Chain A
């Protein structure tokens, strides 16, 4: 899984190396490093790392290791996106549909069919692996409230 880690690096030589070591020890493969020197706050330089980890457990171990060595982890974000397709049978307003994705996914395409007698829409969207289940559940709830059927994909 690909993860963006933001570390608060104390402005001393060698600290980044320590963090990289913990990542490497846990199978992490670094894709990119961005130093935000101009954002230096309270002696910390925020550093943004994109890392590919073999699994969530590996990532969690690396994160714990980094924190134990005195480097605060300011934020993490999954960069893994999944493309999902659902068909919603029944009629549902696009506004309501879009609300579900606010801040946790993006509609890639919307296709309408079935005319006015038996309408449906096919929604293709991208979502992070973490938000996938939440988004699908929210869609299901929305469909149910509007007397529609959500047909999601069988993995």
Chain B
């Protein structure tokens, strides 16, 4: 039985936990739920009806650092769903680093650690012979990395660009269709739970830039950091400017791109019939391939759909373990 733990019992953590209670038949038990204040351990694995909404209120809740989960060897697979800090990578970075060092496979949706220490973490995973999977970090549930690594492996990626942030895309769409000013569209997004209380990382293009960094490092063999991306956000975009674009059959979108070694995020004019021109909180990612040509993926870049990417990573790890067991 593979013992799986979730650190970060928030929006994604709670939703993923529900799915993982059904995995016992598949040889995976959810045995640990952790938050900043401590963890709850169930050696036989949680069942769906035994999942606590608030782990800290549970009588067996252990108030201590979640690092203990790793040190005590309570799990074989750790899913890291901690809040993102794109400058320090913490707290996710320490959890991931320690887990990998201890020979624990890791799945994460937290961009921070990968933006700060991509090469360090992937080489560490490589040298320890464990998996580090991060499908959920870019494009939410859209299968970006698995598609590129599996289905596109015979071809060569020439460039990647995309609409990588649902919050700003929602705001720009409302400005385009309703002529709303940016601040009003932002308030609306916040009310709908699409934007954080502090939306500056989204509006200033930093969140998109993080995704550009992860894409470049993971799929184009680069070793880049946030400061290598030329970033311009949407704070200065006006609904009148969008109207001026609209008159020409275009709109303004926040586009992240990796082209000829150049990483950038900037508001761009996009034709309304361009495949990247998706509206609302949708994300779109376009690969330019040497043989295939253009390939565009469109989907929900955040929210519950992200669980699909987390499960895909977990399934992949399970399949690899199964294959290596059978190989022996």
B237/A149 in contact, CB under 8 A: yes
- Beyond A87-B245, A149-B237, whether A154 also contacts B232 by CB under 8 A is no
Given A154-B255, A154-B268, A154-B270, do A120 and B241 touch, yes or no (CB 8 Å)? Answer: yes
Interface assignment of B157: CB less than 8 Å from any CB of chain A? no
A-B contacts, 20 listed (Cβ < 8 Å): A85-B248, A85-B250, A85-B269, A86-B269, A87-B244, A87-B269, A90-B236, A114-B241, A122-B244, A122-B245, A148-B236, A151-B237, A151-B241, A151-B269, A153-B268, A153-B269, A153-B271, A154-B268, A154-B271, A154-B274
Is A17 at the interface (CB under 8 A from chain B)?
no
How far does the alpha carbon of A89 sit from the alpha carbon of B172 in the complex, in Å?
15
Q: Knowing A113-B244, A154-B268 touch, does A149 contact B232 (C-beta < 8 A)?
A: yes
- 88-115 of chain A: CB within 8 A of chain B: 89-90, 111, 113-115
B68-86: which residues lie under 8 A (CB-CB) from chain A? none
Which single residue of chain A is at the shortest CB-CB distance from B230?
Answer: A140
Least CB distance from B158 to A in Å reads 13
B253 within 8 A of A: yes
- Tell me the count of chain A residues lying within 8 A, CB to CB, of chain B: 18
- Going nearest first, the 7 A-B pairs with the smallest beta carbon separation are A114-B240, A154-B268, A153-B269, A120-B241, A118-B238, A122-B244, A149-B236
- Interface residues of chain A, those whose CB is within 8 Å of chain B, are 85-87, 89-90, 111, 113-115, 118, 120, 122, 148-149, 151-154
With A89-B236, A89-B237 as known contacts, state yes or no: A154 contacts B244, CB within 8 Å: no
Do residues B268 and A120 form an inter-chain contact, with CB atoms below 8 A? no
Which residues in B have their C-beta under 8 angstroms from that of A111? 244
